[in-house]
Amino acid sequence: MFHKEGYPSIALATLVLVLCVWLGMSIESKVLGSLPIIAGVFLWIIILQFFRNPKRNTPKSEKGILAPSDGTVVKIEPFTDHEYFGEPRTLVSIFMSPLNVHVTRYPFDGKVLYSQYHHGKYLLAWHPKSSTHNERTTVVIEHPSGEPILYRQIAGALARRIVNYAMVGDVVKAGEDAGFIKFGSRIDVIVPNDAKINVSLDQKVKGGETIIAELLK
């Protein structure tokens, strides 16, 4: 129900809620006493919804590439990745608002070929240079077809911690927990140019459920 990365924050928010309730009940005025209680409940609900980790019905697809996260498709364009491929490919970029589920999920079954963390800046997630300048992790997984596919977790202006569970050599399953990004961010997926793109700009997608692209080979 809730992601394990959120347990410390949930515990802290619960403690704050208890203190707010105690403070509110110690105030004689019911109106004034209700204010800290309302504030504590509001904070608690915000934290719970941010770290929620709903179950997903992951579809079976031999050629499919699933969205690694919830969010909105903000880019579909040619892109040359110099970190791993060094050649033009197609970029599908998904922006996550603070209201989205921020769990990262593996986009298909496969073997992790590359996993690298990069320190960086905290530009707005939709900034053109955020893919190469922001704090980020790059993961490449070998698709069952043999094609390497890259996804990149990118921190945004609010995000201050990227969690990546993928390690080179891991055999992973589509839809399983691959990590987490706290407080707003972006996920880039880089696919071959001949891949069939199944999503459009401004489309809402669900991590582990929406097939964003299909390989033709």
Q: How confident is the model at residue 94 (pLDDT cuts 50, 70, 90)?
A: very high
- 64-214: CATH topology is Glucose Permease (Domain IIA) (2.70.70)
Ranges of each domain in the chain: 4-50, 64-214
Q: What SS3 state is found at 185?
A: strand
Annotated active-site residue in 115, 131, 185, 200: 185
Q: How confident is the model at residue 141 (pLDDT cuts 50, 70, 90)?
A: very high
Unique residue bearing structure tokens 């999503």: 199
Tokens describing residue 100 = 């989205």
**DSSP letter, residue 60:** P
- Per the annotation, the verdict on 29 as an active-site residue is no
* pLDDT (tens digit per residue) in 180-197: 887 668 899 999 999 999
Is 32 a residue whose pLDDT tops 70? yes
Model confidence, pTM: 0.85
The number of C-alpha atoms within 13 Å of 1 and in the hemisphere containing its C-beta is 3
Residues 6+ apart with CB under 8 A from 189: 65, 67, 68, 91, 92, 93, 94, 107, 149, 150, 151, 152, 212, 213
